[in-house]
Amino acid sequence: MARMTAAQAAVWVLEKEGVTQAFGVPGAAINPFYAALRQQGSIGHILARHVEGASHMAEGYTRAAAGNIGLCIGTSGPAGTDMITGLYSAQADSIPILCITGQAPRARLYKEDFQAVDIEAIAKPVTKWAVTVREPAQVPGTFQQAFHLMRSGRPGPVLIDLPVDVQTAEIEFDPDTYAPLPVYKPSATRAQAARAIAMLQQAQRPLIVAGGGIINADACALLVEFAELTGVPVIPTLMAWGAIPDDHPLMAGMCGLQTSHRYGNATLLASDFVLGIGNRWANRHTGSTEVYTKGRTFVHVDIEPTQIGRVFAPDFGIVSDAAAALRLFIAVARDLQAAGQLKDRTPWAADCFERKRTMLRKTGFDDVPMKPQRVYECMNRAFGPETCYVSTIGLSQIAGAQFLHVFQPRHWINCGQAGPLGWTVSAALGVRAADPKRRIVALSGDYDFQFMLEELAVGAQFKLPYLHMVVNNSYLGLIRQAQRGFNMDYCVELAFENINMAESATPERGYGVDHVKVVEGLGCKAIRVHAPDELLPAIAQAEAWMKEYQVPVVVEVILERVTNIAMGPEIDRIVEFD
């Protein structure tokens, strides 16, 4: 046993649990923890420019690789409230991050002390666990329980709030004998797997809907093995894009109201059986359940018991970790194959592949200013299958999902449910911190880009290079398109005559913010593009700058002001725009 401060014990637990990187902003109420962090020296720290940015960096770090848990740190009061958006985003997408906040001394709680807020109560609805530690001796066990909860069952975030006097109090703790708690993950039974495969065998036109739980379980290879064994096409959700490569013959496209493919929706509507694994039937994927479920039988596999039947009642539900379920599905299917009883899906798979080959949206526009569809066509030519995309929300993300291609797990880093503007820059920096070698391409509209633009300075300071594609139409494009239903175009324009840009700088002078100057002012590099033939050379230049300067590089593409992107109220009523 050793005597140390509770803050020092907390850092020891973080180290023993495998944490090597933190993102945060110091402050008076968390300085004792920072002192322990500095003294221990085993955990790197990246200084964010905004505490919300630190939480999204932690998200990007977690999402980049299996086993990662991002750590974000802030002081008391507004630091914690700033991180609530990151906690909500992580909770919504089942992403484990640990948020540590400082707090006023215990004697000053609930007395309106400076920067004292009940962050435990505020954070509870958007975390698996939020706790203010009131006894110093409970600090090691609280951190141990936090990691147990983040990793067990449906993953998610935890917030630990540390009063400053709790941090500085001395306790007894033995780092040498510390061990993480066992992780709990439910597993399907052989009987459940046999029942699910029997239902699959009865179907004529079956599909697998692969959700983000497959990514979290590191079960993508099992998914592909199961699909190839049974011959059943796969529709990944947005959170599972890349779980099966886009060019795999059994990858049948994505389904949904916005981030979908024409062929994905058509194939779902043509199916008669759906095996959902690790998905939550999100409304952007399903539209109304009446249209989505009509004429189809459903089996739903999810790690969270209360997720079964939450959106609609499946015909059969299984509570299981995705990897455990897939191993059993493969075993049952192999037994059927050995007995010559596994159903041949070749004709149905061929039908799905033909839809994928023919039901494509147009991209070859030569307009100047550019149409976004042409931008994504050029990106597909420029970026290979090793590329990792990072994006959050807006027409840029929706069009990106419709036109880009993803070939590997964890190479579509996307905030699926919460979709906070400003997420992309911070998350991309977190991905870079997790993987120094990955080819990272972030994608933003101009409004998402402007929300937390200051975090680019973090990339410059800590040498975190990545390529950021900004498609600029000087609009809140998704909201503008939605306002068509109200016959208005109200408070969604970002355009203004920028008096600091030369009058000859057309059309960007009328687009408002000079992103190139702002990016350069933050210590990064930027290049502006107007025409299709300029885009590939600009990307080549950007990648050369990244290598030379080791900073984020922005390629801004000036778009035509108004382009409508395919979407609709139901998966059978998508409005296509040419």
- Which pLDDT score is estimated for 506? 67
Classify residue 77: in a domain, yes or no: yes
Average pLDDT value over all residues in the chain:
93
Is the same domain home to 311 and 337? yes
- Which pLDDT score is estimated for 512? 85
Classify residue 41: in a domain, yes or no: yes
CATH of the domain at 492: 3.40.50.970
| Number of domain units in the chain | 3
Segment 223-231 long-range contacts (CB within 8 Å, at least 24 positions apart): 223/277, 223/326, 224/248, 225/326, 225/330, 226/326, 226/329, 226/330, 226/333, 229/330, 229/333, 229/334, 229/337, 229/342, 230/200, 230/333, 230/342, 230/343, 230/345, 231/344, 231/345, 231/346, 231/348, 231/349
| pLDDT tier at 99, thresholds 50, 70, 90 | very high
Least confident of 166-180, 406-420, 462-476, 481-495: 481-495
Tokens, residue 173: 């703790």
| pLDDT tier at 504, thresholds 50, 70, 90 | low
* Rounded distance between C-alpha atoms, residue 85 and residue 91, angstroms: 10
Domain boundary among 358, 382, 398: 358
Is the same domain home to 412 and 328? no
Given a cut of 80, is residue 352 above it in pLDDT? yes
| Residues recognised as catalytic | 25, 51, 421, 476, 479
Is the same domain home to 197 and 297? yes
| pLDDT tier at 88, thresholds 50, 70, 90 | very high
239-273 pLDDT, tens digit per residue, is 999 999 999 999 999 999 999 999 999 999 999 99
- Percentage of the chain lying above the pLDDT 70 cut: 99
| Rg of the chain taking only CA atoms, in angstroms | 25
Given a cut of 90, is residue 417 above it in pLDDT? no
21-48 pLDDT, tens digit per residue, is 999 999 999 999 999 999 988 999 999 9
Classify residue 564: in a domain, yes or no: no
- Which pLDDT score is estimated for 363? 87
Classify residue 574: in a domain, yes or no: no
Is the same domain home to 172 and 231? no
User: What average pLDDT does range 394-419 have in this prediction?
Assistant: 91
Classify residue 232: in a domain, yes or no: yes
Is the same domain home to 417 and 304? no
Domain that holds residue 514: 372-558
Is the same domain home to 169 and 206? no
CATH of the domain at 241: 3.40.50.1220
Residues 6+ apart with CB under 8 A from 540: none
Is the same domain home to 169 and 221? no
* Rounded distance between C-alpha atoms, residue 219 and residue 242, angstroms: 12
Domain boundary among 177, 200, 217: 177
Is the same domain home to 292 and 260? yes
Is the same domain home to 159 and 204? no
